[in-house]
């Protein structure tokens, strides 16, 4: 029996070019993997470089709700608010101990940080902010009569009164250079707190004399505020106004006399003048008869011995 010869099948490793092909594919995968890793690293580094750092914040005391002017502050009115440090300004308060027990000088809206100028000095309320010798008086206005509710605490104003006298209206500035110590600004009127208020109220620091004058004006006149520019403390000398100041010169000119008809004397064209009024003495003695006037005479004394005689001689 002839010997059986088994054909030798070549293994994978014996195939020509196989090892080189495996190495080539492995190198390609390695390059792709490294490129992907480097790309992800580049993206991560780019994001790290472009992502801004978290902004620093600072904690300040703010209003927990709308707070009107003149309100005493307690813990119920306050809370802390975190705000970016870049918006922090000098004068903002950072602790309750600087706020509790104080009185608000101006309206403070909800979540608005408290500043030192929004509070009255001391814990005595309004009395601590009044200048020496002044009195506080509160007047009520509308938007039209209070410069569209733009009057603020610390401003200076004048008060103008329009009054009626003998059926005629007159306007006069009755008080000048008054300090505003409390007010209701427009944002307060638009808030929930301001809706319950009847008009805009302004509290002024005035002298005792001005307090009496303003109290009288409230009862008998229509008042209007005029706002002064910052730093203007001057007092003007004003004459007041009435309806004639609103009319042109032509409207105030008197009617000319009637035209003279040709051939008529100027005296005849003029209306007769009324007789002058009699005085009190003339009206009493007008009906009495005229007194008779006696002639002037000389009196001559003549002596004859011890006898004396008087003789009257009429002057001619």
* Domain layout of the chain by residue ranges: 55-125, 130-238
d(CA 58, CA 312): 126
d(CA 57, CA 80): 12
The predicted structure's pLDDT at residue 12: 47
Strand partners, 310: 301
Q: 97 or 280: whose pLDDT is higher?
A: 97
- pTM equals 0.59
For residues 222-239, give the mean pLDDT.
92
Q: 294 or 169: whose pLDDT is higher?
A: 169
Q: What is the CA radius of gyration of the chain?
A: 52
Q: 143 or 302: whose pLDDT is higher?
A: 143
The answer to whether residues 137 and 211 touch, using CB atoms and an 8 Å cutoff, is: yes
pLDDT band at 203 (very low <50, low <70, confident <90, very high): very high
Residue-wise pLDDT tens digits, 116-140: 989 988 777 888 888 899 999 999 9
Q: Nearest 5 degrees, angle CA 148-CA 153-CA 155?
A: 75
The answer to whether residues 98 and 120 touch, using CB atoms and an 8 Å cutoff, is: no
Residue-wise pLDDT tens digits, 297-313: 677 777 776 777 777 77
Q: 108 or 262: whose pLDDT is higher?
A: 108
The predicted structure's pLDDT at residue 134: 94
Q: 52 or 170: whose pLDDT is higher?
A: 170
pLDDT band at 269 (very low <50, low <70, confident <90, very high): low
pLDDT over 70 percentage in the chain: 71
The answer to whether residues 84 and 114 touch, using CB atoms and an 8 Å cutoff, is: no
Residue-wise pLDDT tens digits, 11-54: 544 555 544 555 556 677 777 788 777 777 877 777 766 656 66
d(CA 111, CA 123): 23
Position 94 pLDDT exceeds 70: yes
pLDDT band at 187 (very low <50, low <70, confident <90, very high): confident
The predicted structure's pLDDT at residue 218: 95
d(CA 99, CA 93): 8
Residue-wise pLDDT tens digits, 78-87: 999 999 988 8
Position 10 pLDDT exceeds 80: no
CATH of 55-125, one of 3.50.50.60, 3.90.1210.10, 3.40.50.80, 3.30.160.20: 3.90.1210.10
The answer to whether residues 61 and 114 touch, using CB atoms and an 8 Å cutoff, is: yes
Beta pairing class for 297-304 and 200-206? unpaired
């Amino acid at each position: 029996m002839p010997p059986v010869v088994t054909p030798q099948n070549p293994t994978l490793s014996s195939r020509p070019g196989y090892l080189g092909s495996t190495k080539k594919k492995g190198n390609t995968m390695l390059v792709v993997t490294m490129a992907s890793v480097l790309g992800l690293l580049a993206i991560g580094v780019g994001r790290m470089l472009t992502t801004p750092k978290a902004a620093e914040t600072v904690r300040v005391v703010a209003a927990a709700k709308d707070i009107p002017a003149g309100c005493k502050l307690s813990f119920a009115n306050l809370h802390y608010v975190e705000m970016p440090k870049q918006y922090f300004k000098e004068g903002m308060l950072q602790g309750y101990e600087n706020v509790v027990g104080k009185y608000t000088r101006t309206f403070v809206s909800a979540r608005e940080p408290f500043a030192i100028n929004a509070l009255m000095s001391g814990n005595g309320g309004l009395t601590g902010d009044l200048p020496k010798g002044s009195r506080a008086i509160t007047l009520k206005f509308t938007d039209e009569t209070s410069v569209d509710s733009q009057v603020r605490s610390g401003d200076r104003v004048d008060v103008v009164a329009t009054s009626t006298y003998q059926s005629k209206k007159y306007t006069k500035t009755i008080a000048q250079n008054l300090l505003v110590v409390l007010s209701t600004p427009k944002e307060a009127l638009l808030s929930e707190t301001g809706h319950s208020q009847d008009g805009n109220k302004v509290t002024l620091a005035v002298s005792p004399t001005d307090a009496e004058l303003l109290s009288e004006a409230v009862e008998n006149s229509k008042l209007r505020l005029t706002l002064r520019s910052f730093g203007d403390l001057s007092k003007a000398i004003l004459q007041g106004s009435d309806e004639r100041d609103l009319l042109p010169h032509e409207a105030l000119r008197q009617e000319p006399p009637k035209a003279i008809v040709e051939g008529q004397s100027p005296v005849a064209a003029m209306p007769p003048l009324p007789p002058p009024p009699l005085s009190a003495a003339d009206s009493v003695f007008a009906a009495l008869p005229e007194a008779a006037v006696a002639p002037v005479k000389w009196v001559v004394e003549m002596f004859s011995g011890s006898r004396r005689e008087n003789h009257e001689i009429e002057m001619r």
